[in-house]
Amino acid sequence: MTTTGFDYGPLLRGDLPAAAARWNGFPKYNFIGGHNAPENIPVDELIAAATRVLKREGPTLATYGLQSGALGYRPLREFLVGKLKRHAGIDCNADEILVTSGSLQALDLVNQILLSPGDTVLVEEASYGGALTRLTRLGVKIVGMKLDEGGIRMDALEQSLKELKGRGVRPKYIYTIPTVQNPTGSILSTERRAELLRIAAAYGVPIFEDECYSDLVWAGTRPAALRGMSRDGGVIHIGSFSKSIAPALRVGYIVAGWDLLSRMLGCKTDAGSGALEQMVLAEYCAPHFDSHIDTLGKALKLKLDVLVDALAEQFGTAAEISYPQGGIFLWLKLPDSVDTSKLTLAAGKEGVAINPGAEWACDAEWGRKRLRICFANPSPDVLREGVAKLAEICHREFGVPLRSANVGRAAS
Amino acid sequence: MTTTGFDYGPLLRGDLPAAAARWNGFPKYNFIGGHNAPENIPVDELIAAATRVLKREGPTLATYGLQSGALGYRPLREFLVGKLKRHAGIDCNADEILVTSGSLQALDLVNQILLSPGDTVLVEEASYGGALTRLTRLGVKIVGMKLDEGGIRMDALEQSLKELKGRGVRPKYIYTIPTVQNPTGSILSTERRAELLRIAAAYGVPIFEDECYSDLVWAGTRPAALRGMSRDGGVIHIGSFSKSIAPALRVGYIVAGWDLLSRMLGCKTDAGSGALEQMVLAEYCAPHFDSHIDTLGKALKLKLDVLVDALAEQFGTAAEISYPQGGIFLWLKLPDSVDTSKLTLAAGKEGVAINPGAEWACDAEWGRKRLRICFANPSPDVLREGVAKLAEICHREFGVPLRSANVGRAAS
């Protein structure tokens, strides 16, 4: 490794995020991140799609934005118009969709046009770690929304908004993952969605609806999206192909009115997201999307059940799980004596990677008894082994579960 | 078009860039932007590359970053190691390369880690408009570096740095496009490069070297990159596949030490750039890159000569051109009576899109007599027609050239 002699230190901005750590490969038991099942990547169909679309439109790669402008490859946006109507009850046209480099860029763009330091937003008390990190970096105040098994508790939300209004605070948005909530895996009912829309409108607060996981629902169907139910456009909707097709493609999207998309485009300084992914996705998805997510959903459910069985076997009643309604992760609570941030460090040293609840919660202390396990990527065997190893480490560090896996097995 | 009833106006940040305009297709005479020649996109080879790499590694799309971590697809970085050594004399390893979503993201990341409002940077007096816009938005002070036909004038640069030092100002970087300068098309000689490195080191100012166009050099070879000549790593180097292969792919890269890349990764919030482009490029470029840029360079040179002939025919001596040493654009000066910003507006209404020099210059007034014409995308016929149309409009608006195209033709 070359080290540079030139000292850039004094020239760096003072307020930078921490330096990244070097990448040393994936951990053996990779229970973090939104990775998907390698065996479910539709490789042959993607090759066929790439071949077809490049044969037909390859020369358009010579122009920025292909022949579609800054909103993204038009056939992909047109596919999304149909998909969003069919699955999520969203009526929109292709000019109300901005294709982004993953839903992470979507998150950044929404934040960029709305948030300044000192602003307030409402976020589910357990939520996507990447969203929380962004908000913290932006110097935004995060007010947690209480959750129960059905998602956001509307009484508590209304109470929070009332208090904020009393203090003269108009929050910039209510961030919610209503369909397969991250990390709890719950789905907000149609009734609660209606109530959420009513409350948000009453307080003049837009809803920021993140539907990254909503294509993977065990029941096969899901309630209409908040964006679909809204009558006034007070909902910004984002989604992604990362969980439904493949995360490495980095293709997400934003559904919003031109009043907002035109401002986001002003901040999207990358001259468009990658064309090949957009072209291949459009070509692949039009004929295959629905059957693919059906197959993928069934495969993921099998992995989830392996994970749930392994947790029951290894942790017994010590692990209180929220059985998710879809998706790729499971949220669980361990007894109060366990600190999952410490557990994450100890497990990490032995190749078991988990998300500590403190990083997935508005209140780190509340999160510290909880953790998230992603189950889409590992094979069933790796899931079983990893959970056994996690139980062993947790037993060693915290005496929980009372009998470690090995002892349990020896006794049976 | 749906208009939203919800009024987001009061919630938007006050300091946003202007809203984007709707896209209405490309102009008929599209002489702007870094578009490339559609007839030179190697479609069949890209299909073959996509097929091979997806067959071999398709399932890795299931993981963020494939199997390569956040710096980008390792085989692409390994290709770059060889290419940069071979073409640009840069010795680096794959861990000193960060793959980005085009060189625009590279620009943003370099700026993000170094620049705060009020900082000073040095930029060639005529430079890439996108770089200038970014710096202005960031509230950075831009000091122009005088150019002559060979690029930056070292005497003037040293004088500027001396003055700045006298005022206690240490600039954050010297931004230069040394190999096929944008917009002048000049190539900085090895001697001037050595002098630039000496001066920059003497004043403790790093060089930010942008080599987006350096693969397209009429002479076939080019001087070693500043990054290659530097002994202390005081040069951050960026490059792109946009001009050498295809802009819509959005793949660029940064060459720098881990001390900087680790900070940039902390700011790169997109969980990786698109994998398919990276995979296909690596697979395509390893066997084909050098022969492709050879073919492409020859084709572009032919188009340039069509443009130069058309300008001579239509504008005569009124157009002073800098004949570029490579690349995809030509920079020209018109008589003082012409205001190219006004000409751009008038021409735009009639389907002729040009870059007004004011947007490509540190000093807008100096730029106002100049303009940039991109010649890679249009066919020779469109180039000829567009230049004739531009001369006609310029004659009508400013009386320059003295005899408009039609009159000239009628008289001959």
Reported as a single tens digit per residue, the pLDDT across A224-236 is 999 999 999 999 9
CA distance B13 to A139: 14
Contact A294, A220 (CB under 8 A): yes
Q: How confident is the model at residue B394 (pLDDT cuts 50, 70, 90)?
A: very high
* Strand-pair partners of A152: A147
pLDDT of residue A322: 87
CA distance B391 to B322: 18
Q: Do B20 and A108 touch (CB under 8 A)?
A: no
pLDDT of residue B4: 54
Looking at the fold, whether A278 and A308 belong to one and the same domain comes out as no
Query: Contacts of residue A115 in chain B, CB cutoff 8 Å?
Result: 13
Looking at the fold, whether B209 and B112 belong to one and the same domain comes out as yes
Pick from A25, A47, A70: which is nearest to B20 by CB? A70
For the stretch A318-349, pLDDT in tens is: 999 989 999 999 999 999 999 999 999 999 99
Q: Do A4 and B257 touch (CB under 8 A)?
A: yes
Q: What one-character-per-residue DSSP string does B95-142 give?
A: GGEEEESHHHHHHHHHHHHH--TT-EEEEESB--HHHHHHHHHTT-EE
Closest CA to B354 of B368, B341, B372, B367: B372
Mean pLDDT of the region A353-363 = 98
Determine how β-strand A141-145 pairs with β-strand A207-211: unpaired
Answer yes or no: is A14 within a domain. no
Looking at the fold, whether A207 and A82 belong to one and the same domain comes out as yes
Closest CA to B226 of B154, B185, B184, B178: B178
A-chain residue closest to B117, CA distance:
A13
Contact B235, B207 (CB under 8 A): yes
- Retrieve residue A143's tokens: 């007010």
ipTM score of the complex?
Answer: 0.96
Question: To probe the interface with B, which of A57, A63, A226 has the most B CB atoms within 10 Å?
Answer: A63
| CATH number of the domain to which A107 belongs | 3.40.640.10
pLDDT score of B62 more than 80: yes
Q: Do B61 and A96 touch (CB under 8 A)?
A: no
pLDDT over 90, % of chain A: 96
For the stretch B164-209, pLDDT in tens is: 999 999 999 999 999 999 999 999 999 999 999 999 999 999 999 9
CA distance B228 to B239: 13
DSSP A18: P
CA distance A36 to A245: 8
Asked if the C-beta of A23 comes within 8 angstroms of chain B's C-beta atoms, the answer is yes
Query: Contacts of residue B261 in chain A, CB cutoff 8 Å?
Result: 20
pLDDT score of B410 more than 50: no
Determine how β-strand B207-211 pairs with β-strand B235-240: parallel
Looking at the fold, whether A52 and A135 belong to one and the same domain comes out as yes
CA distance B412 to B406: 10
pLDDT of residue B403: 74
pLDDT of residue A412: 39
Q: Do B18 and A266 touch (CB under 8 A)?
A: yes
Asked if the C-beta of A226 comes within 8 angstroms of chain B's C-beta atoms, the answer is no
Looking at the fold, whether B63 and B125 belong to one and the same domain comes out as yes
Pick from B39, B58, B62: which is nearest to A59 by CB? B39
Window A:118-177, CB contacts with B under 8 Å:
134, 170, 172-173
Pick from A41, A134, A275: which is nearest to B58 by CB? A41
Contact A352, A390 (CB under 8 A): yes
Q: Where are the beta strands (DSSP E) in A105-233?
A: 120-124, 141-145, 147-148, 151-152, 173-176, 207-211
Query: Contacts of residue A263 in chain B, CB cutoff 8 Å?
Result: 12, 16, 19-20
Asked if the C-beta of B55 comes within 8 angstroms of chain A's C-beta atoms, the answer is yes
Answer yes or no: is A203 within a domain. yes
Q: Do B37 and A377 touch (CB under 8 A)?
A: no
- Residue at which a domain ends, from A231, A259, A288: A288
pLDDT of residue B264: 98
Question: To probe the interface with B, which of A1, A7, A13 has the most B CB atoms within 10 Å?
Answer: A13
Residue ranges in B19-101 assigned as alpha helix (H): 43-57, 74-88
The answer, as to whether pTM is greater than 0.80, is yes
Q: Do A250 and B273 touch (CB under 8 A)?
A: yes
Q: How confident is the model at residue B405 (pLDDT cuts 50, 70, 90)?
A: low
Answer yes or no: is B308 within a domain. yes
pLDDT of residue A157: 98
pLDDT of residue A1: 41
- Retrieve residue A153's tokens: 């508790």
Query: Contacts of residue A11 in chain B, CB cutoff 8 Å?
Result: 114, 170, 172-173, 206
HSE at residue B97, side-chain half, CA atoms within 13 A, is 26
Contact A61, B377 (CB under 8 A): no
pLDDT score of A56 more than 90: yes
Looking at the fold, whether B169 and B272 belong to one and the same domain comes out as yes
Asked if the C-beta of A269 comes within 8 angstroms of chain B's C-beta atoms, the answer is yes
CA distance B8 to A234: 8
pLDDT of residue A113: 98
Residue ranges in B207-315 assigned as alpha helix (H): 226-229, 258-267, 275-315
B-chain residue closest to A55, CA distance:
B43
Question: To probe the interface with A, which of B3, B276, B281 has the most A CB atoms within 10 Å?
Answer: B276
Q: Give the A:B interface size as CB pairs under 8 Å.
A: 329
pLDDT score of A3 more than 60: no
Looking at the fold, whether B167 and B109 belong to one and the same domain comes out as yes
pLDDT of residue A406: 52
Q: Do B248 and A65 touch (CB under 8 A)?
A: yes
Q: Do A1 and B258 touch (CB under 8 A)?
A: yes
Looking at the fold, whether A68 and A140 belong to one and the same domain comes out as yes
**Alpha carbon separation from B3 to A234, A259, A274, B293 (Å, rounded):** 11, 8, 29, 47
Pick from A18, A113, A266: which is nearest to B266 by CB? A18
Query: Contacts of residue A23 in chain B, CB cutoff 8 Å?
Result: 65, 68-71
CA distance A132 to A362: 7
CA of residue B16 relative to chain centroid, distance: 24
- Residue at which a domain ends, from A288, A307, A342: A288
Helices vs. strands in chain B: H and E counts, helices first:
13, 15
Looking at the fold, whether A48 and A107 belong to one and the same domain comes out as yes
Question: To probe the interface with A, which of B2, B4, B107, B109 has the most A CB atoms within 10 Å?
Answer: B4
Pick from A173, A248, A273: which is nearest to B61 by CB? A248
Pick from A25, A274, A377: which is nearest to B62 by CB? A377
For the stretch B129-154, pLDDT in tens is: 999 999 999 999 999 999 999 999 99
Asked if the C-beta of B227 comes within 8 angstroms of chain A's C-beta atoms, the answer is no
* Strand-pair partners of B174: B122, B207
| CATH number of the domain to which B334 belongs | 3.90.1150.10
pLDDT score of B412 more than 80: no
Q: Which residue do the tokens 């071949």 mark? A: A51
B-chain residue closest to A105, CA distance:
B270
Looking at the fold, whether A282 and A299 belong to one and the same domain comes out as no
Looking at the fold, whether A78 and A216 belong to one and the same domain comes out as yes
Q: Do B276 and A274 touch (CB under 8 A)?
A: yes
Window A:376-395, CB contacts with B under 8 Å:
376-377
Answer yes or no: is B14 within a domain. no
Looking at the fold, whether A277 and A299 belong to one and the same domain comes out as no
Determine how β-strand A352-353 pairs with β-strand A29-30: parallel
pLDDT over 90, % of chain B: 96
Q: How confident is the model at residue B322 (pLDDT cuts 50, 70, 90)?
A: confident
For the stretch B84-100, pLDDT in tens is: 999 999 999 999 999 99
Q: What one-character-per-residue DSSP string does A274-325 give?
A: -HHHHHHHHHHHHHHHHHHHHHHHHHHHHHHHHHHHHHHHHHGGG-EEE--S
Question: To probe the interface with B, which of A4, A135, A241 has the most B CB atoms within 10 Å?
Answer: A4
Mean pLDDT of the region B332-336 = 97
Answer yes or no: is B203 within a domain. yes
- Retrieve residue A360's tokens: 């997935």
Pick from A246, A257, A270: which is nearest to B4 by CB? A257
pLDDT score of B103 more than 70: yes
Q: Do A277 and B274 touch (CB under 8 A)?
A: yes
CA distance A174 to B6: 14
Asked if the C-beta of A280 comes within 8 angstroms of chain B's C-beta atoms, the answer is yes
Count: domains in chain A: 2
| Burial of B276 per CB tally in 10 Å (0-12, 13-18, 19+) | buried
Pick from B43, B258, B261: which is nearest to A58 by CB? B43
Mean pLDDT of the region A285-304 = 98
Asked if the C-beta of A355 comes within 8 angstroms of chain B's C-beta atoms, the answer is no
Q: Do A234 and B59 touch (CB under 8 A)?
A: no
Query: Contacts of residue A266 in chain B, CB cutoff 8 Å?
Result: 16-20
- Average pLDDT of chain B is 96
Q: Which residue do the tokens 């942008």 mark? A: B210
By residue range, what is the domain housing residue B63? 43-288
Asked if the C-beta of B50 comes within 8 angstroms of chain A's C-beta atoms, the answer is yes
- Residue at which a domain ends, from A288, A312, A337: A288
Answer yes or no: is A70 within a domain. yes
For the stretch A137-177, pLDDT in tens is: 999 999 999 999 999 999 999 999 999 999 999 999 999 99
Answer yes or no: is A141 within a domain. yes
For the stretch A96-121, pLDDT in tens is: 999 999 999 999 999 999 999 999 99
Answer yes or no: is B234 within a domain. yes
Pick from B16, B113, B233: which is nearest to A12 by CB? B113
